[in-house]
């Protein structure tokens, strides 16, 4: 999947991109704009987007209300499908965040989390990329879910599920909770309740 990086002014108020981002995408083009706030206003950035030949674009920026919103609205005006990673930018107040998100949504921008983006791109845990490639990445960059998956994997490995528990309607998190309740001796009532809900 093509990645395009950009800065509004390397020596300006936002400065260069953090080294961690550059290290994640060593082969991605870095478009050093000359002060344009909306990345779409830069001819080199527009050329890079068009060269990628994609109709759907995932965007993020330093600030939700300016960096992300300006670009997202420009891309929508050009006919692109746009997904804004709501966890990859920020603002100074909840009001600014909510107003920027409402503005993007009104223009047809999809507001999504990083986890939603990852799962939408992956589509199927059995595929490639699938669980083998995605779970280690999630463990590093989304540790809350990485811990859920690690706990589920441990329960599978040590055989702590009773027959039929793997199909509980609550999925991985439900199985983790079930394991916790079993360890506290409260599993029988909860298991019956979950099975009733799954079958009903």
Residues that are catalytic: 67
The pair phi, psi for residue 68, each rounded to 5°, is -75, -50
User: What residue has token string 């965007």?
Assistant: 59
Q: Which of 25, 6, 4, 28 is nearest to 15 (CA)?
A: 6
Paired with 31 in beta bridges are 6
* Contact between 123 and 88 (Cβ < 8 Å): no
**Rounded distance between C-alpha atoms, residue 138 and residue 156, angstroms:** 19
């Amino acid at each position: 999947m093509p990645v395009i990086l950009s800065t509004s002014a390397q020596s300006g108020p936002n400065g260069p991109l953090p080294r961690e981002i550059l290290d994640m995408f060593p082969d991605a083009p870095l478009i050093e704009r000359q002060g344009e706030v909306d990345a779409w206003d830069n001819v080199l950035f527009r050329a890079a987007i068009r060269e990628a030949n994609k109709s759907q674009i995932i965007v993020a920026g330093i600030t939700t209300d300016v960096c992300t919103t300006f670009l997202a609205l420009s891309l929508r005006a050009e006919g692109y499908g746009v997904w804004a990673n709501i966890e990859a930018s920020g603002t100074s107040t909840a009001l600014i965040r909510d107003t920027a998100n409402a503005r993007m949504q009104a223009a047809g921008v999809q507001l999504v989390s990083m986890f939603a983006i990852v799962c939408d791109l992956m589509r199927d845990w059995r595929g490639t990329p699938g669980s083998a490639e995605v779970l280690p990445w999630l463990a590093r960059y989304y540790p809350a879910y990485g811990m859920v998956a690690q706990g589920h994997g441990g329960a599978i490995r040590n055989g702590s599920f009773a027959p039929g528990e793997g199909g509980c309607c609550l999925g991985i998190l439900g199985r983790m909770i079930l394991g916790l309740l079993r360890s506290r001796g409260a599993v029988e009532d909860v298991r019956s309740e979950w099975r009733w809900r799954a079958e009903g």
